[in-house]
Structure 1
Amino acid sequence: MTVIGIGADGWPGLPERSRSVLQDAHVLIGGPRQLALLPPSCAGKRVSWPSPLRPAVPGLIAAHAGRRIAVLASGDPMFYGIGRALTETLGPEALHVLPHPSSVSYACARVGWPLEDTEVVTLVGRPAARLAAALHDGRRVLVLSTGPDTPAAVADLLRERGFGPSRMRVLEQLGGEDEHCADGTADTWTHAPGDPLNVIAVDCSRTPGALRLGAVPGLPDDAYEHDGQLTKRHVRAATLATLAPAPGELLWDVGGGSGSIAVEWMRTHPSCRAVTVERAPVRAERIARNADRLGVPGLRVVTGRAPDALTGLPAPDAVFIGGGLTAPGLLDACWDALPAGGRLVANTVTLESEALLASWHRRHGGDLVRLAVAHAVPVGGFTGWRQAMPVTQWSVTKPSPNLSGAPS
């Protein structure tokens, strides 16, 4: 099977090698738009992808076994394209890929941005809220659009998140004869929906006075909607440093409260995943709103009481327990769910939970620390310190089964 990238310029934009493969193929598979770009000299049987696509791939390929198959894809098939689904389903050895310049390459060429300094966010099949995590003053972001209505949705999001002055350029039909650019700012965006094949270039510019959100854990407490059940900023930063998220890892956030630990875990890298478990429905809804606002709408929120609500969840790489430590069986369930090398971090402010953590520390080792934060406040005409409740934190890495259970 050969996977061939094709651009908006269609057949004239293809190199001779790609043309030859398409003309010799017995079967041509692609979307209706791509297939329509081929001339009559490509005489193979034309087959449109079914929906949903991924489950149909094995059967579709098996139906044409032994025949020369050419698959058409937009731009570079391995950049947010069909190449990933085919590779994961059939294996890389089953494919030969002939890429075309991607829409991102074309967009950077048109606006003069170095590709290596440009962040790319895809909204194809994903909520627009994902863009929020990439918004930082002065950054350049390319948004892969899902259709003609995406630019207006992006403009709305930029205004809502305090980035209304950001310049937006909507680049349509890149590389084709009908290439077009609509220009403006999010605050003043009035362009009507245009071509569905578009990429949005955003020069991020924060509204003066808007809340500034950094790229590392420890966002301002004001970034969250909460009822007081919030791991405060400085303790949150220390907790995320101890949890040490790495790309692709999954966190269980048990006793989610406002969801701040799970949200900031996911903000560290686009591939980080998290499940937060919260027993109060009102708080669970609040967690979802915080996740959406802060750019991680993929956060999974489970409403229920742990440890029962943990049953059936995918195995975590790390567990954070921010509440409910004394619930019977909770620590045992979290410990049992962790694989070797997994991390567990638990915070508490009560003596009862502190005693429990001290007991587990004696059994399994790790680090037991006390985090104390004080804030300067007015004292008459002077300034003094107001101490927040100290937080006791236990953190541990689960050893391999063949190692002794002695503290290390």
Structure 2
Amino acid sequence: MTPISEQPAVTVVGIGADGWAGLGPAGREALAAAEVVVGGPRQLDLLPPECAGERVAWPSPLRPAVPKLLAEHAGRRLAVLASGDPMFYGIGRALAEEAGPAALHVLPHPSSVSYACARMGWAMQDVDVVSAVGRDPAALAGALHDGRRVLVLAPDAATPARIAELLRERGYGPSRMTVLEQLGGPAEHRVDGVAGTWSAPAGDPLNVVAVECVRAAGTPRLPVVPGLPDDAYEHDGQLTKKYVRAATLAALAPAPGELLWDVGGGSGSIAVEWLRAHRACRAVSVERDPVRAGRITRNARALGVPRLKVVTGAAPGALAGLPVPDAVFIGGGLTGAGLLETCWAALPAGGRLVANTVTLESEALLTEWYRRHGGELTRLAVAQAVPVGSFTGWRQAMPVTQWSVTKPAE
């Protein structure tokens, strides 16, 4: 084992509900030798008197305090306490981003997810995890699929009741719920029930909620690929329809970590389905109408992507100051002065731009940009079978002209 004197500047020690008794020799040694120990009040209270270093509780909000605390205690033996595995939805990420991985010595403890899967008899690799700690629990809606198993990391004792309510609202009331409290500690406890009839009183604030998803009869099935049913969205008619939406997302080609500008958001369907492609995808939806902007926010929450950022304002002015996009979708306002120019200038080399229109004026504009920059110019036409008297005929939707292009290197 590396001597304390030769270890990196910050030792991050994971600790569980079993406290000091559950720590290994390395964790105990680091905490006993630390001149300063930083952690949450609950975690600090788990330490025995032999940890004689100065104890510093994290302030709130936590993330902005990280650089200041590191600077204040530079040159001292510093230990940071974290719940379970510090690198799994823990403080370890913020510390690594601020101080650099080489400055950290991380001693993980089994995470609450490991304990929960052990108690439920679930294979960890087959379980979806949603954190409601410092995050909107509406993200759970994106993980709801019949037969799936989900663990929700809870920030407080009221979370199980909120989860049960969300499951009922999204048509998953028959789902089984298990609240696992104080996992790994002497006060470990569980409560079982069904979301639709959940009435258990608030218990311990340190809990994880295990959900076995069961879709109620009549609840729409929402796929993971682009092209959700149109009625999955609240809208006023300003909605990129299902088949055109699927083709548009294919042209935008989302990948993990990438950022989309959805310009002229309407109902937000393009940004929502971009975000549903992967949990690391990011998106900003820009909409000038405040009523529609509010609707975009509601759609994002209902479909499990509350992280969608909505900017209310007219483009191109509202685009100023936004982070550099990896892809831009323009769903409206193409003929607005400077809009295409601003979006094109914002894209880095390799970035994608996709624009849809149904008007001749905007089509002429896209044709000119296609002539100048290349890419693909596509006519999307969809017809649906409808009754014609006692027979059946085709009803043609307005054709959509789509320009998609990847920006070349200068």
Distance 2:62 2:394 in 1: 61
Aligned to 1:11: 20
Q: Is 1:293 paired with 2:302?
A: yes
Deviant stretches of 4+, over 3 Å: none
Extract unaligned runs of 5+ from structure 1.
402-408
1:187 alignment partner, SS class = helix
Q: Is 1:152 paired with 2:161?
A: yes
Describe the superposition over 1:251-297 as per-residue Cα deviations: whole angstroms up to 9, x where unpaired. Answer: 11111111100111111111111111112121111111111111111
Give the C-alpha shift of residue 41 in structure 1: 1.4
AA partner of residue 58 (structure 2): W
Give the C-alpha shift of residue 62 in structure 1: 2.8
Percent identity between the two aligned chains: 75
Describe the superposition over 1:340-364 as per-residue Cα deviations: whole angstroms up to 9, x where unpaired. Answer: 1110000011111111111000000
In structure 1, which of residues 318, 321, 328 is the aligned counterpart of residue 327 of structure 2? 318
Give the C-alpha shift of residue 212 in structure 1: 1.1
Extract unaligned runs of 5+ from structure 2.
1-9
Distance 1:126 1:55 in 2: 16
Distance 1:398 1:64 in 2: 47
Aligned to 1:79: 88
2:261 alignment partner, SS class = strand
Q: Is 1:341 paired with 2:350?
A: yes
Give the C-alpha shift of residue 153 in structure 1: 0.4
AA partner of residue 17 (structure 1): A
Q: Is 1:198 paired with 2:198?
A: no
Give the C-alpha shift of residue 52 in structure 1: 2.5
Give the C-alpha shift of residue 66 in structure 1: 2.5
Q: Is 1:356 paired with 2:354?
A: no
Describe the superposition over 1:309-350 as per-residue Cα deviations: whole angstroms up to 9, x where unpaired. Answer: 111211111000111111111111110111111100000111
Distance 1:311 1:379 in 2: 50
2:38 alignment partner, SS class = strand
Aligned length: 401
AA partner of residue 175 (structure 1): G
Describe the superposition over 1:204-240 as per-residue Cα deviations: whole angstroms up to 9, x where unpaired. Answer: 0101111111111100000011111110000000100
1:233-382 maps to which residues of 2 (within 5 A)? 233-382=242-391
2:197 alignment partner, SS class = coil
AA partner of residue 250 (structure 1): L
Aligned Cα root-mean-square deviation (Å) = 1.0
Distance 1:59 1:296 in 2: 32
Q: TM-score, normalised by structure 2?
A: 0.96
Distance 2:318 2:36 in 1: 49
Aligned to 1:25: 34
Q: Is 1:398 paired with 2:410?
A: no
Aligned to 1:227: 236
Distance 2:268 2:364 in 1: 25
1:190 alignment partner, SS class = coil
Distance 1:355 1:142 in 2: 51
Q: TM-score, normalised by structure 1?
A: 0.97
In structure 2, which of residues 84, 102, 117 is the aligned counterpart of residue 93 of structure 1? 102
Describe the superposition over 1:177-209 as per-residue Cα deviations: whole angstroms up to 9, x where unpaired. Answer: 000001001101000010000000000010111
In structure 2, which of residues 152, 164, 174 is the aligned counterpart of residue 165 of structure 1? 174
Aligned to 2:66: 57
**Which is further off, 42-51 or 109-118?**
42-51
Aligned to 1:404: none
Give the C-alpha shift of residue 64 in structure 1: 2.5
